[in-house]
Structures are given as structure tokens and as C-alpha cells.
């Protein structure tokens, strides 16, 4: 599997949903963000079971398809550490 995406294209939706994703949860999956890359768009979904946020970035130039969950805060920190571009 090979996914190509610009840092800014994935960082923007991740940061948008990060507010509802908590570090310490009674259910570990709630600290994760659902990432979906397909059809030249990227979506990120976060929830705390009361509120669900979905952020979509269109026309990103993303190639490949992917749907997975990642630890929200850790993933955002990793993305911030990458150089722009």
C-alpha cells in the first residue's frame, strides 16, 4: 500500500477533530481518530460518544486509499514534526 498526501492536507482535518478526542478515556478507541483517504479527499472523524466531529479536506491531490484509526494526539504531534510540503 502506498499513500501520498501533503502534510497540510491531512493536518488540517486532524486538528479540526482533535478537540473531541481525549487523552484518557475509559474506552481506548475514543482517543483515536478515524482517517479516510479516498477519491482525492481526506476525512478525519473524532468522537467522545456525545459529540462527533467530521472534517473533510477536498481536492487534496491524495493518491491511494486508506481507512484506519490512529491515536489522535500522537498522530497530530507526528504530523506537526514533518516539514511543510
Please tell me the pTM assigned to this model: 0.87
User: Which range marks the domain in which residue 17 is found?
Assistant: 7-81
- Residue 33 C-alpha cell reads as 481518530
Domain membership flag for residue 48? yes
Whether 2 is in a domain gets the answer no
By the 8 A CB rule, do 6 and 60 touch? Answer: yes
Residue 35 sits in a domain whose CATH number is 3.10.150.10
Report how far apart, in Å, the C-alpha atoms of 23 and of each of 18, 56, 66, 73, 75 are. Answer: 10, 23, 24, 7, 12
22: its cell numbers: 481525549
| pLDDT tens readout for residues 50-83 | 999 999 999 878 788 899 999 999 999 999 999 9
**Residue 35 within any structural domain of the chain:** yes
Q: How many domains does the chain have?
A: 1
With respect to residue 52, please indicate whether it lies within any of the assigned structural domains: yes
On whether residue 1 sits in a domain, the answer given is: no
Amino acid at each position: 500500500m502506498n499513500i501520498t498526501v501533503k502534510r497540510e492536507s491531512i493536518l488540517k482535518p486532524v486538528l479540526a477533530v482533535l478537540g473531541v478526542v481525549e487523552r484518557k478515556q475509559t474506552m481506548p478507541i475514543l482517543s483515536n481518530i478515524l482517517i479516510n483517504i479516498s477519491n482525492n479527499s481526506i476525512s478525519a472523524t473524532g468522537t467522545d460518544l456525545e459529540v462527533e466531529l467530521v472534517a473533510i479536506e477536498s481536492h487534496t491531490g491524495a493518491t491511494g486509499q486508506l481507512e484506519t484509526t490512529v491515536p489522535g494526539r500522537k498522530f497530530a504531534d507526528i504530523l506537526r514534526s514533518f516539514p511543510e510540503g
